[in-house]
Structure 1
Amino acid sequence: MVATLGLTLQAHAAQALAASDNSIDSAGPGVGAQYDGTHVYVAPADMAPFIASFIATFGGQSSKPATTTVTPTPSSASFAAVQTPVGPLSVFAFTTPIPYPFGAERTGYLVKDMDAAVDAAREAGADVIVAPFPDPIGRDAVIQWPGGINMQLYWHTAKPSSAPLATIPENRVYLSPMRTNVFMVEFLRFSKGRVVLDDDHAPGVEVGRPGETYRRVRIDSAFGKLTLLATDGHLPFPYGRELTGYEVADLTATLDKAMAAGATVLVQPFRADGRDAAMVQFPGGYIAEIHSVSQR
């Protein structure tokens, strides 16, 4: 299945590994995983139920929603910053049409220096699809990697200070086998991260294809964790719809909290790669992978 499409790419995987030098470089543009959150877009009526459900599931707190303009062109959205022990969120509920290309970016990454980060992204091979622009508390830009992966970069005028997370969430990126190595090389060059694991025969149950295999790559950087899932795109719902995976101590207890808070378990718990994992949909439609470590 999916794995057969990637067998000829092993030599290129070695190139990506070489580009990473097997260490996280503190001189990279990232600040820390506690500042790098998933962007969640919901309808205005779903904002409060979603935030309440997410916090009831994982703990944490939210800022009071505020109406603001978060794009370089006229628009209006209610915005809330959600902080949890397993990762932050930026939640947006637009009351106007959403200007392009906003809504397609998956994450917001805090950078040390906006201009330097944008230059580094360009030099690594990314496209800057929204040039830097001011927001009420700093500056933002949106970059795009091979395979159409959009990420927002942001910088704050006042240096933020947040405690480290209990567990680091993983940005889950689905790509075709033909684009995976290109993404790896370019993202590693930009992030100064490292490849933790490159498995060309990962269990297909992880992408809804039990009994088959596919390629999975795990990357660590100052931006946190990123998992690449290289598939042929023959994915049953909800695989590919989740943006982030969250690690918890007790998966069963977390799922009980989620369901009690109005979430729906879309994929029942399964075990693979030393994890017990499930897929959950929260009020408003946000889908997340949730997992606990079953063995090391």
Structure 2
Amino acid sequence: MAAASVLLATVPAVPASTDTPSGSTPSGSSSIAVGPQYDTTHVYIEPGKMPAFAASWKATFGGSSTAVSVTDVTPTPSQTKSQLVFSPVGTLSVFDFQTPIPFPFGAERTGWLLTNMSTGIKQAQASGAHVIVSPFPDPVGRDAVIQFPGGVNTQVYWHTKAPAYKALTTIPENRLYLPADAANSFLGSYLKFSSGKVVSDNSKADAGEIGLTGKTFRKISLTSPFGKTVILVTDGHLPYPFGREVTGYEVSSLSSTLTKAKAAGATVLWGPHSAAGRDSAIVKFPGGYVAEIHDVQQTSHAGQQ
């Protein structure tokens, strides 16, 4: 949680409230996002598996990682090992909790860096999202957790001093599985908060890409200054491992990436499978993190594995 902010314990804590932005907002824009390279997937790793996970991830995608720190990243007493993992396809905040995880932490999917925390909270509430963890200080800024309609939890964070991460080679997808009766209310709130837009809305998408060959489902693709989002609207009758993957990562070659992943200790749980103009697979990395990986090439495979 709190993404990069938890890793710099030598920086003094900020005051209880502040309005100094952690980044700049383009003139005339209502976006409070800093950029997709600062929006991390939160990975809660199996105890003791952080080194194996980081090594496997970097061997698969390239990149680097920060040193592991031990800190409290919640508003109530707790302790976790924490590490940032950078890669060309996305940034991860990795946690190995040494104490029980305080509620509701562990259910948030991502951490989004905001230009201004107080503005972000007001924007979340105006969009119909709920603030389920009020802003609290961490060593280098402030954090909060918001919940969009449909029960989607997102941590938002702000830095006293703006960080500087490399731009990503490809932008990852936030993959959200929602029931039909929550999809439209979620869309209205999420798009308003994120200053996003709908790229496509296909009510008859090929459900083979979520393991349901011969069926269709509603698939909605969004983009915003925070990055990409894919909403998969289903009846919840999903075969394993679908719904376990939080984020989808785009690579230039799925086959070569899967070869690297398997050599680095990861397991291919499903795929490769060709649908919707791309090849995809679902992979489990050491420590339990499950990810969707895809390329955009039209290739043929012998079928699902």
State TM-score, norm by structure 2: 0.88
Counterpart-to-counterpart distance in 2, 1:26 and 1:277? 34
1:192 aligns with 2:200: no
Structure 1: tracts of 5 or more residues without a match: 1-24
Which of 260, 285, 289 matches 1:286? 289
Q: Is the 8 A contact 1:26 1:222 kept in 2?
A: no
Distance 2:71 2:46 in 1: 15
Equivalent of 2:37, from 34, 38, 41?
34
Q: Offset at 1:29?
A: 1.4
Residue 50 of structure 2 is matched in structure 1 by 47
Aligned counterpart in structure 1 of residue 75 of structure 2, from 67, 72, 75: 72
Instruction: Assess if the C-alpha contact under 8 Å between 2:65 and 2:83 holds in 1.
Output: yes
| Residue-by-residue CA offset, 1:120-143 (whole Å, 9 max, x unaligned) | 000100010000000011100000
String of CA shifts for 1:19-66, please: whole Å, max 9, x gaps: xxxxxx842111110000100001331111011111111100000110
Name the CA distance, whole Å, in 1 between partners of 2:243 and 2:209. Answer: 11
**Higher RCO (Cα < 8 Å, 6 or more apart):** 1
Distance 1:31 1:224 in 2: 10
* Residue matched to 1:144: 147
SS of the residue aligned with 2:269?
Answer: strand
Q: Kindly, what percent of the aligned residue pairs are identical?
A: 56
Question: 2:93 matched to which residue of 1?
Answer: 90
Please, which of 214, 218, 235 is the counterpart of residue 215 of structure 1?
218
Give the alignment partner of residue 130 of structure 2, picking from 108, 127, 135: 127
Q: Which residue of 1 aligns with 2:237?
A: 234
Report what 2:63 is aligned to.
60
SS at match of 1:237: coil
Task: Find the residue that maps to 2:95 and give its secondary structure.
Answer: strand
Matched AA of 2:53 = F
* Cα distance per residue 1:75-125 (max 9 Å; x no partner): 000000111000000000000000000000000000100010011000100
Amino acid paired to 2:171 = I
Cα distance, 1:207 vs structure 2: 1.2
Q: Unaligned 5+ residue runs, structure 2?
A: 1-27, 299-305
**Partner residue of 1:111 out of 102, 109, 114:** 114
Give me the whole-angstrom Cα distance separating, in 2, the residues matched to 1:243 and 1:26.
28
Paired residue total? 271
Pair 1:265-2:262 in alignment: no
Provide the C-alpha distance between the structure 1 equivalents of 2:86 and 2:75, rounded to a whole number of angstroms.
Answer: 25
